[in-house]
Chain A
Amino acid sequence: MNAAHEPAGDAMHGAAADAVPARDARGRIARRAVFSRASPLVVIAVILIVWELAVRLFGVPAYLLPPPSAIARRMATDYELLAVNTWITLGEVLAGFALAIVVSIPLAAILAQFRVVENAVYPTLVASQTIPKVAIAPLLVVWFGFGLTPKILIAFLICFFPIVVDTMTGFRCVPREVIWLARSMGASQWKTFMKIRIPAALPNIFAGLKVASTLAVVGAVVGEFIGADRGLGYQLIVANGLMDVQLSFAVLVTLSLLGIALYAAVDLLERVTLPWHVSHRVAAGSPPTQAAS
């Protein structure tokens, strides 16, 4: 039991040594956190102010480039129109995104697990990605009509590949020793997959989901461009047709807000699911205790 107190003692000593400057440091860390939260807002504010001033000073006509204040006012007055169309586009985005998740993750699991399947299928998969989705969109309209289906399919097609690639990387990144360890425990492939490969792959899966979340919005809008009678993409086409630049901008802002919200939701889910991951440790406020001992 002699050695028993050593590591605990070590940690205690470390904590005691930290205790005195801790209050100071905590204040500094808190200030830094506030600043790092606020700094993107500051950048956005600066851009908006410069935009507003430039439009006013140089007298840019509103039908070319409306000032941010006019766009905001337009968003407020056309609130209902934007909300209805946002709702429709959001539905298409979420359906396409969900479909991509359901298809991509199992597909990546199979590709990562069975090299034979990967060799056979992966080249075709990569080749299929060189076809621009915008080019397939009209075909999908021909096949599936003007309803929700083609939009969902385009959103799915555009965002499923990044999820597949990232998820495969995740399944592959498990160190050799961990697999050996699992084998020495007599664990089945399935158990190893569920208890080791999936959790190990989660950080990569989330990386793929983040990229895909923004692409899903692009996909749905592309679908609406080709043929639709509702949705933000349709509204954008209508506004452009009417040369209503203010409305165009209002729709664009709404679209980007939609994309940001979706991305933020994935990011939040990641933080909740993976508090242990490197990217969230410092944010969680835990001190780096990687001491030498």
Chain B
Amino acid sequence: MNCALGFRGVGKVFETRTGSLRALQGIDFALRRGEFLSVLGPSGCGKSSLLALATGLEFPTEGTVEVAGRRVDRPVTDVGIVFQTDVLLDWRTVLGNVMLQIEMRGLDAARYDGRARELLRTVGLAGFEQRRPYELSGGMRQRVSICRALVHDPDILLMDEPFGALDAITREQLVMELHRIWNETRKSVMFVTHDIGEAIFLADRVLVMTPRPGRIEEIVEVDLPRPRTVKTRESARFLALVAHVRTLFVQAGILQVSR
């Protein structure tokens, strides 16, 4: 039971009007407990499908998906999910949005109130508890949605390109914050992204995917020391890993060396 999430021989075929479309093929991997796993690939490689399978929003055509040793056959609830859009409810305050997680689960709100406030404080949103989402910037909104995903203290955190809609600098800020939070909590994280640097910076391992059909090209071990800092991105090892992943995409014909 050392694995939080396991995919065994998973394939996914979508039936469309024009015929069947294979989204995933032969997906085999395990998210270890306390591991940060990045899933990296271009659009259309099925990485978001992986996430939908992991949460039990969809089910595989072949193979099995297991969460905490149990086969996924209905929506998984012991997770926190962060989407590309922040999905905040406009009519709730910042604190109310975080507490939605608690209310929807029917947990005792009074018990989690302090934890919600504390989480907001650690992402620099102290004093914003009673604001409404529209008063916040994109980066702040996504911070709130991360707090919402963590407030019930789930074992697994699933993130679907959470920083994809943010500008480059805010993005880097949030990557640093996520790394810090992960370092402190050591959740099992599956982090889907299309950004090579982001994937490597955050992860223990990077699952590199290629499209048509979506499959795992290679699982890259990231042996960078922790905690990682802004300087990490400039280290020789980091750059070597980026170069290696890039080579994988070149070999798969996704990137071209020159025209």
Is residue A274 within 8 Å, beta carbon to beta carbon, of the partner chain? yes
B80: nearest chain-A partner, CB-CB: A184
**Complex interface bits, A160-197 against B, C-beta within 8 A gives 1, otherwise 0:** 00000000000000010110111111110001100110
Q: Restricting to B69-100, which residues have a CB under 8 Å from any CB of A?
A: 75-77, 79-81, 83, 85, 87, 89-91, 100
Provide the bound-state CA to CA distance between A185 and B89, in Å.
Answer: 15
Q: Do B173 and A195 touch (CB < 8 A)?
A: no
Binds A, one of B4-12, B138-146, B194-202: B138-146
Interface set of B (CB-CB < 8 Å, partner A): 55, 57, 75-77, 79-81, 83, 85, 87, 89-91, 100-101, 103-105, 121-128, 132, 134-140, 143, 167, 170, 173, 176-177, 180
Q: Given that A5-B124, A289-B137, A292-B167 are known contacts, is A185 also in contact with B104, CB under 8 Å in the complex?
A: yes
Inter-chain CA distance A145–B127, complex, in Å, is 63
User: How far apart are B166's CB and chain A's nearest CB, in angstroms?
Assistant: 9
- B170 shortest CB reach to chain A, Å: 5
Asked if A8 contacts B135 (CB within 8 A), the reply is no
Q: Which residues of A contact B135 (CB under 8 A)?
A: 286, 289
> Which residues in A have their C-beta under 8 angstroms from that of B101?
185
Given A182-B104, A292-B167, residue A3 in contact with residue B136 (CB < 8 A): no
Give the residue of B90, B127, B128, B180 whose beta carbon is less than 8 angstroms from that of A276.
Answer: B90
Interface SS majority for chain A = helix
- Residues A7 and B103 in contact, CB atoms below 8 Å apart: no
Q: Which residues of B contact A290 (CB under 8 A)?
A: 134, 137-138
The answer to whether A3 and B121 have CB atoms under 8 Å apart is no
Residues of A contacting B126 in the complex (Cβ-Cβ under 8 angstroms):
4, 8
Asked if A26 lies at the interface with its beta carbon under 8 angstroms from chain B, I say no
A6 in the interface (beta carbon within 8 A): yes
Interface centre among A185, A191, A289 (most CB of B within 10 A): A185
Chain B residues with CB below 8 A from A292, complex form: 137-138, 167, 170
Report the minimal beta-carbon distance from B93 to chain A, rounded to whole angstroms. 9
Q: How close is B85's CB to chain A, nearest CB, in angstroms?
A: 6
Q: Check B137–A187 contact: CB distance below 8 A.
A: no
Interface string of A262-293 (1 = CB under 8 A from B): 00000000000010111001000010011111
Task: Judge whether B123 and A186 touch: CB under 8 Å.
Answer: no
In the bound complex, what is the Cα–Cα distance between A293 and B140 (angstroms)? 8
B134 touches A184 (CB 8 A): no
Q: A3 to B77, Cβ gap below 8 A?
A: no
A186 in contact with B104 given A178-B87, A293-B139 (CB within 8 Å): yes
Indicate which residue in B91, B124, B167, B170 contacts A8 across the interface (CB closer than 8 Å). Answer: B124
A54–B48 Cα distance when bound, in Å, is 70
Verify A289–B76 contact, CB threshold 8 A: no
In the complex, A195 Cα to B92 Cα: how many Å?
A: 10
